[in-house]
Chain A
């Protein structure tokens, strides 16, 4: 009786561990999507996937002649489950390429596995500086940004506006820390000072005590980073605390991208920096926005663009090796040299595989982030600690 149980257990594990056979050049290309389907970043994950799939559909469902087979894992924006989750894609499903993710902590765990196993990975959002810094590798690419980029650009903008003292407030995790660091670098070089750095654990949204603290400190301006549901809550609370009228708020565009529909004017007039805006009005962007709106009945945002561009990158790499993904070296070489028209503008990669791009200055007018200028032209992340440089 007891040994039967063991045998049953072994059989179950066998069923779960059965390796899958996959073709190299002509069969379906296995794309593993590791994105948040639940939690505060769920809408971002959805936008990225929408953008990715839109591009593939526009290419007729095939990239470089190979049909795409999708494998999805919900990473729940939880770094503690990240290693297990990406192992499912890489070791159980044997995907050819991993696309993910939103949360920087999760992305770092993914990058470690990708680096160890040599699996190709394209990051469609997570801005963790480490991914194209100390953790950079031949097989890791990013179609989005590094946390440093929009933050540094905003730091320069805030300094130009004549503000001298700033309080920062964000979540306490890799992205929060790095965005504050980037901002400080851009801001303090003109003589200003970040007088206080406030933070709360991710994904906590109880801001009241910290907002009181900001009011007590009376800085010239406040720099903040939040995204998704947290951004909505923060903007509402900031306004309800009366601070919107008295202390100007600045931040990277994640604050207002994809969140304006849930707001009721609490973000009106806010200035943000980002590598995308809602009113770029270029032919490429207009075509993209139209296609996206038609397919999903939603307005696209920066996350959708990043997903879309990840697919573009993949296609260019695949075309260069004629669909044979086993030619890793050539594939990675081709990817590192990509040059294409992204809805955000011309797209190229720096040596650490992070996009080199214009950072736009935008203002919230109604339900749109309207571009009012370029905060920083062709800004490249310094890629500190990356051994590819």
Chain B
């Protein structure tokens, strides 16, 4: 593999890993802070992608905006969706056993998939990247790298930085960190745990949906896209350590690299590699790489 190719594959790995991180961070927060196993998290990613597809004509007609307006509109809708969902459904799951949460969120996946089928149909759709990001950068003598993919990586890094700042510099972040380390203690300190949960959940949904929207131009919008991202996200969360954002970032990048290079170097083993990685890490550190927080 030449140096140029290696660098390009590194860029590919970074982009995939960062996108995974965005989705997985929501999952690890929800799991770590609220103790809820949410199988429907992949569906939020799918909802985001389908929003990118379905909202563009509407936003164009009413607000006259383009891709970025769609992103903003989508995030706002996702936050609203997360808030409502937590209120009418997820708040009943806190008291239940893990197994029941698994079952109920699995049922939710089915419901989301069919609602999507009813509202938007079952076709595969493409989403156009915005004009200013549609260019390509020449890399090496033959290949060009799409600017949009660099945009994805950049956006994810900005969001990761933003999350870091919120967690370490704000009161809300402090409460979230405390909540994920010791929920009962936080409750007994008189912090409005209900509000905290709702915020965290809405944020988790928004992160996943945003990832779906941003990824839509490169991954296409198709039924079942939630399922494939879900399982990898669980792997990220488990490797990184439940409730740990740092862990999710490291794990996501690790998986990004293993998967991308695996596909090219050992195509037949590519699928297995990620799981081998997870098994090896868990056998070495049974609780994941980092502690919560």
Contacts and interface: CB of A to CB of B under 8 A. Distances in A.
Interface of A: 37-40, 42-43, 198-201, 203, 205-206, 208-213, 215-216, 218, 228-230, 232-233, 236-237, 240-243, 246-247, 262
13 contacts: A38-B117, A38-B122, A39-B222, A198-B267, A208-B15, A212-B8, A218-B142, A229-B125, A229-B222, A232-B126, A236-B126, A241-B143, A262-B126
A246 B234 CA distance: 40
B275 to A, nearest CB: 15
B265 to A, nearest CB: 10
B69 interface: no
Given A201-B271, A209-B12, A216-B5, A242 B144 contact: yes
Contacts of A205: 219-220, 222
Contacts of A39: 122, 124, 222-224
Interface of B: 1-2, 4-5, 8-9, 12, 15-16, 117, 122-126, 134, 136, 138, 140, 142-146, 149, 218-220, 222-224, 260, 263-264, 267, 271
Contacts of B143: 211-212, 215, 241-243
B123 A42 contact: yes
Contacts of B219: 205-206
B142 A233 contact: no
Contacts of A241: 136, 143-146
A215 B139 CA distance: 11
B126 to A, nearest CB: 6
B15, B122, B124, B224 — most chain A CB neighbours (10 Å): B124
A336 B138 CA distance: 56
B222 A40 contact: yes
B contact patch SS: mixed
Contacts of A210: 263-264
B261 to A, nearest CB: 8
Contacts of A215: 5, 8, 140, 142-143
Minimum-distance CB pairs A-B, first 9: A229-B124, A242-B144, A38-B122, A215-B143, A216-B5, A215-B142, A240-B146, A212-B8, A209-B263
Contacts of B220: 205, 229, 232-233
Contacts, number: 89
Contacts of A203: 222
B126 A233 contact: yes
Given A38-B223, A43-B123, A209-B12, A199 B5 contact: no
A203 B117 CA distance: 18
Given A215-B5, A243-B142, 11 more contacts: A39-B222, A208-B15, A209-B263, A211-B143, A212-B143, A229-B220, A232-B126, A240-B134, A241-B136, A241-B145, A241-B146
Contacts of B267: 198-199
A237 B1 CA distance: 21
B260 A209 contact: yes
A28 B136 CA distance: 59
B263 A200 contact: yes
Nearest to B13: A209
Contact of A216 (B1, B145, B146): B1
Which residue, of A42, A200, A228, has the highest number of chain B Cβ atoms within 10 A?
A42
A37 B146 CA distance: 33
Contacts of B136: 240-242
Given A38-B122, A199-B267, A232-B126, A208 B149 contact: yes
A213 B124 contact: no
Given A212-B12, A229-B222, A42 B2 contact: no
